Structure 1
Amino acid sequence: MTTWLPSLITATPAEGYDLAVKLSRYAVKLTQPDAAVRDRVRPEYAEDADALIAISQVVATHFATVAAANGYWRQVP
């Protein structure tokens, strides 16, 4: 069985951030599986400052999780 998320481990913080965005997008897709509905409502939140700030907070939460899973990318001696 193949999973869409085999690991939270990434090589770099940039890859970790990309993963955080992917996690956020996947959550939206699971919450609203109808692509036509997502496409229809996208213009409404695309210009809503509160909605954009909210998604930034969601990505930041996911990034904190990924960073913790990666030991904050610190090298351990």
Structure 2
Amino acid sequence: MSEQTILIPGNTLITASPEEGRQLAIKIARLTIKITQPDAEVREKLRPIYVEDAAMLISIGAAVAAEFATIARANNYWR
């Protein structure tokens, strides 16, 4: 893992709103992909493959949903 990549932006899961929480979930999911495949050229080569594959797109959505569930819980569901 790269020492330069910050996996939790701002080092907190606390957000002001569900919308900010969702944005953070997407950012964390994207950072996970970047850490898993650090080579930008390889990621660019793979993009055309997964954008045409419904199962892969559903998997991406599931990853974001899992991150969002964690963030929502950390924020006491914004109560």
Normalised to the residue count of structure 1, the TM-score between the two structures is 0.90
Bigger-Rg structure (1/2): 1
State the match for 2:72 in structure 1. 67
Matched residue type, 1:71:
N
1:28 corresponds to 2:33: yes
In structure 1, list runs of 5 or more residues that go unmatched: none
Q: In structure 1, how many angstroms separate the alpha carbons of the residues matched to 2:51 and 2:65?
A: 18
Q: What percentage of aligned pairs have identical amino acids? A: 56
Q: Deviations over 1:37-67 (max 9, x none)?
A: 0001100001100000011011000000000
Normalised to the residue count of structure 2, the TM-score between the two structures is 0.88
In structure 2, list runs of 5 or more residues that go unmatched: none
1:42 corresponds to 2:47: yes
What stretches of structure 1 move > 2 A for 4+ residues in a row?
A: none
User: Once superposed, what is the RMSD of the aligned Cα atoms?
Assistant: 1.5
Higher relative contact order, structure no. (Cα contacts within 8 Å, ≥ 6 residues apart): 1
Alignment coverage as a number of residue pairs: 73
